[in-house]
Amino acid sequence: MARRVKARKVKSDTSARNAGKLLKSQDYTRRALAAYRAGDRSESLKLAEKAFRADPKRFEALNLAGMIETQSGDPTRAIRRLEKAWSLAPGYPEIAENLAAAYYADRRPKEAADLYRTVVETWPERIGAWCNLGNLLNESGEPDEARNAYERALDLKPDFLPALVNLALIEGQSGNSERAAELFRECLRLAPDNGEIHHDFSRLKRFGPGDPDIAIMENRRQGSEKGTSDRMFFDFALAKAYEDSGDYDRAFDCLAEGNALKRQTVSYDPQEQERRIDKVIEIFSPEFMARNDVTGFPSEQPIFIFGMPRSGTSLVEQILASHSAVAGAGELALLADTIAGGASTPNFRGQKKENEYPNTIGALSAASYPKLGQTYVEGLPGRLRDQHRITDKMPGNYLYAGIIRSILPQAKMIHCRRSPLDTCFSCFSIYFPYGQTFSYDLDDLGRHYRAYHRLMAHWSAILGDAILDVEYEALVADPEAGAKTIIEFCELPWEDACVNFHETRRQVRTASSMQVRQPIYQTAVRRWKRFEHRLGPLIGALGDLADLE
């Protein structure tokens, strides 16, 4: 009897302890949510972890922790939390959407898109999921499907601004400028003080003296708070408008302020870039290339187009993508990710310096080279893989010319060159949505260009005619001759569509999306001359590379 009584007491004590843990978990979760709403993500995460340690089935706490970890740059950890939360509570679409966001942050866009599809199929009223699915489809080069997703979101809420803005951007990138302008006007009606929307609209149109949109933007700019992103976007938008209308000093004033604001938000050390270039040159010696030349994966499918941003890479891709045997994939992060993954390192961005390219190259075995080439080819967008050739026009791939030659010896490499001053000023005049952190200060720009130029001279010396140099100025002066040289280098038969590239209907998602829809023009040649008296820091940093004559 005594043993039975003891057993009952143990069971009763266990139940009480469990009930206590559940109450603690509930309290921790409540406090974690309150901390998150108050903006204290660190405290919120600590409380959420206490909540699911007390009750491993507390899916609300797992969901909150995963969401915070994604926002804090740890998507791998977030995915573990969110996958568990989703398995515990498959009836909560919020968890699925947070998990999709974590997949995307972890560079797993296909899994993210598949999960968003699951959400909208199960809960078709989820406006945000429709919009995020559209974003992923657009990034993967499926503008028609993305357009449909945005329109489904707008069917549910006609004034849903994120879907309207993204739909306007797709229409502009696809050459439907009138429809894009209508959508941007509607966006500005809903959000007249939004500097980013004004900026996006400014990229679409051509301004003349007295354009009423200039006065509207000036008024909105004056009303925006100094030092904010809205103020920065108004500066870049007005710089474009004033340059279009011929007020070059006012344009530069706006550029100077907008770039200064942006420079405060990015981390860029020109010395670090220069040291990296030194290391690339040291590793990829003539002896290294002789040991590893033509050892890679035998695919002639990729065509790499690289150089400084604003050097004509979009123009060259549009020429090639106008050929029936070529698909333009745009700017892919695939090569950097492939190389980083091949050296068994974490994601390329944000890792320790010793685990960054080119320091990882020494860890590669001879067998790694063909595997890396195969991984790259198999990672090309699936919708394009049936094409004979696929272009990758990530400008910064110039850093990897040596490893491209080693892992994909049959791939074509095209280097786009343009006047140093025109290239650098064009970078300075553009807001880049990501990357190009060197472009927001004239001295940084000049030093970056010199480092790039030094590396390209090295590649030219050791790779020779494996790289085709395309001069922007020569191409716009004689587009047919330039296009024929490009097509011949890629070992393709000539097609007249390649010189009529502006008629090609395809989405172009770079800053040059409007220019490539026009016939060749030469107004961008020596554009820097209009601003020469303001470019002293750039000219000084370029030194003997400054093409002043």
At the topology level of CATH, where does 1-106 sit?
1.25.40
Q: pTM value?
A: 0.85
Instruction: Write down the pLDDT at residue 48.
Output: 93
State the sign of the Cα–Cα–Cα–Cα dihedral 85, 91, 95, 100.
positive
Q: Can you give the residue ranges of every domain in the chain?
A: 1-106, 271-545
113 in helix, strand or coil?
Answer: helix
Per-residue pLDDT band at 353 (split at 50, 70, 90): low
389 Cβ contact partners less than 8 Å away, ≥ 6 residues apart: 300, 301, 302, 303, 320, 323, 325, 326, 327, 412, 490, 492
Instruction: Write down the pLDDT at residue 301.
Output: 97
The Cα–Cα gap between 54 and 46 comes to: 13
| pLDDT over threshold 50, residue 516 | no
Fold match, 1-106 / 271-545 = no
| pLDDT over threshold 60, residue 505 | no
Instruction: Write down the pLDDT at residue 13.
Output: 57
| pLDDT over threshold 60, residue 299 | yes
Q: Please count the helices (runs of H) and the strands (runs of E) in the chain.
A: 25, 5
Stretch 103-124: mean pLDDT, rounded?
Answer: 94
Over residues 250-266, the pLDDT tens digits come to 999 999 999 999 999 99
Give the residue among 329, 362, 330 at the shortest CA–CA distance from 344. Answer: 362
Mean of the per-residue pLDDT values of the chain = 90
327 in helix, strand or coil?
Answer: strand
Q: Reading across the β-sheet that carries 302-307, which strands appear in turn? A: 326-328, 389-392, 302-307, 412-417, 467-471
Structure tokens at 252: 């530069």
The Cα–Cα gap between 246 and 249 comes to: 9
Query: Residue 84 carries which DSSP code?
Result: H
| pLDDT over threshold 90, residue 143 | no
Instruction: Write down the pLDDT at residue 507.
Output: 57
User: HEC states along 200-262?
Assistant: HHHHHCCCCCCCHHHHHHHHHHHHCCCCCHHHHHHHHHHHHHHHHCCCHHHHHHHHHHHHHHH
| pLDDT over threshold 50, residue 506 | no
User: HEC states along 481-541?
Assistant: HHHHHHHHHCCCCCCHHHCCHHHCCCCCCCCCCCHHHCCCCCCCCCHHHHHHHHCHHHHHH
Per-residue pLDDT band at 363 (split at 50, 70, 90): confident
Stretch 113-132: mean pLDDT, rounded?
Answer: 97
271-545 to CATH, choices 3.40.50.720, 3.30.70.3270, 3.20.20.70, 3.40.50.300: 3.40.50.300
The Cα–Cα gap between 86 and 90 comes to: 5
Q: Judge whether 366 and 303 are in contact, CB under 8 Å.
A: no
121 or 354, which is more confident: 121
Q: How far apart are the first and last CA of the chain?
A: 106
Q: Judge whether 512 and 395 are in contact, CB under 8 Å.
A: no
E strand or H helix at 469: strand 467-471
Per-residue pLDDT band at 513 (split at 50, 70, 90): very low
- Distance from chain centroid for Cα 163: 19
Over residues 376-390, the pLDDT tens digits come to 999 998 888 889 999
Residue 304 pairs in a beta bridge with 392, 413
126 or 513, which is more confident: 126
